[in-house]
């Protein structure tokens, strides 16, 4: 009897149930970050549907020009570099926010914003060029899938840029309060996730789309 | 995660948060940036070159893209395999499962349909 009690107590201890002190709920920063992480994953699931549509409709050009004839890989390389460097600048802003350095935070965020806007400008120019070249002729499932997927990513970057400017203003006006820091954590996650989706876009849409 | 083996408790880490000093953080981001730049450059080089065996190019591009996404997840999003990160990794794994089901399933089903469909001229005859 005694032996079983000891064994039982030992088991409880192993499971961590014998602890009298409970941790309580997780800090708000962890809960917020985790919730936003789940939102980002669901966003990626939505993008995966657009990717699937693009991959399926890649050949449906209705006799029109294919991706290899339409895409300008040089400008895609410039776009990729802009977004990658802006993701890095956003990382620097996270470090500045951690050590509460106002100056470096605003500088890093300004660089992030400029690079994001450069990305958007090149993408807009590319879209205008494609529309001018493809407006005539039959409607093509390939182009619909292309504009939906890349346009959806562009919309995300535009929304992210607005959020970025809001964060700069909030940190300027309210300082590095805990709630502002949580908002900035979510923004940084969002911006890095957009870069991950862009990796899939330039690989699948542009590089594979021109190779096929 | 609760401590199972009586080790001192370690609180969870929010996705995007990192432990360590400033210098280490900057070094982490620089490593990520360098790796990502190398992988991107390789991707663009492979897509436009004649030096590589042509049928291997799509596979190479996909592999390089997955590697670069891994670099971004580790060095920019700071999702690691540490015990304080289990919840983040589990959510990521579930997301990846859905992504692969959607993309792989769509490609599989559509290629099967295309394969089983009669050629277009026969289809036109059947509609008359």
**ipTM of model:** 0.82
Give residue A20's pLDDT band: very low, low, confident or very high (50, 70, 90). Answer: low
pLDDT of residue B13: 77
| A106/A66 Cα distance (integer angstroms) | 43
Q: Which of A41, A67, A187 to mutate to test the interface with B (most CBs of B within 10 A)?
A: A41
How confident is residue A38, by pLDDT bands cut at 50, 70 and 90?
A: very high
Contacts of A72 (CB under 8 A, 6+ apart): A126
pTM value? 0.84
Residue A49's Cβ-count burial label (10 Å; 0-12, 13-18, 19+) is middle
Q: What's the pLDDT at A212?
A: 65
Find which of A11, A37, A39, A191 to mutate to test the B interface (most B CBs within 10 Å of its CB).
A37
Among A146, A201, A207, CA closest to B58: A207
Q: Which two tokens stand for residue A9?
A: 């107590």
Give pLDDT < 50 ranges for chain B.
1-6
How many CB atoms are closer than 10 A to CB A50? 21
Cβ-Cβ contacts under 8 Å, A41 against chain B: 91-92, 94-95
pLDDT of residue B128: 64
B103 neighbors B109 (Cβ within 8 angstroms): no
Both tokens assigned to A195: 């870069």
């Amino acid at each position: 009897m005694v032996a079983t009690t000891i064994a039982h107590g030992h088991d409880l201890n192993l499971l961590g149930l014998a602890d009298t002190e409970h941790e309580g709920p997780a800090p708000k920063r962890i809960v917020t970050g985790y919730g936003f992480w789940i939102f980002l994953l669901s966003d990626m699931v939505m993008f995966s549907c657009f990717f699937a549509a693009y991959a399926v409709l890649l050949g449906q050009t209705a006799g029109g020009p294919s991706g290899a004839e339409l895409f300008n890989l040089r400008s895609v390389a410039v776009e990729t570099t802009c977004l990658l460097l802006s993701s890095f600048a956003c990382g620097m802003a996270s470090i500045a926010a951690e050590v509460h350095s106002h100056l470096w935070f605003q500088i890093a965020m300004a660089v992030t914003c400029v690079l994001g806007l450069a990305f958007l400008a090149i993408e807009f120019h590319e879209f205008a060029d494609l529309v001018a070249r493809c407006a005539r002729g039959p409607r093509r499932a390939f182009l619909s899938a292309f504009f939906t997927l890349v346009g959806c990513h562009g919309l995300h970057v535009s929304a992210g840029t607005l959020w970025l400017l809001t964060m700069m203003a909030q940190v300027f006006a309210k300082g590095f309060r805990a709630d502002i820091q949580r908002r900035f954590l979510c923004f940084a996650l969002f911006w890095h996730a957009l870069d991950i989706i862009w990796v899939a876009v330039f690989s699948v849409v542009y590089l594979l789309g021109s190779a096929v | 995660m609760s401590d199972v083996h009586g080790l001192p408790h370690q609180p969870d880490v929010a996705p995007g948060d990192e432990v360590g000093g400033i210098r280490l953080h900057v070094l982490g981001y620089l490593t990520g940036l360098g790796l990502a730049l190398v992988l991107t450059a390789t991707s663009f080089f492979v897509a436009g070159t004649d030096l590589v065996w042509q049928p291997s190019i799509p596979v190479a591009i996909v592999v390089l893209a997955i590697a670069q996404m891994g670099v971004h997840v580790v060095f920019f999003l700071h999702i690691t395999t540490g015990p304080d990160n289990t919840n983040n990794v589990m959510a990521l794994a579930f997301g990846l499962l859905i992504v692969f089901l959607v993309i792989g399933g769509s490609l599989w089903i559509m290629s099967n349909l295309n394969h089983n469909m009669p050629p277009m001229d026969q289809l036109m005859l059947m509609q008359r």
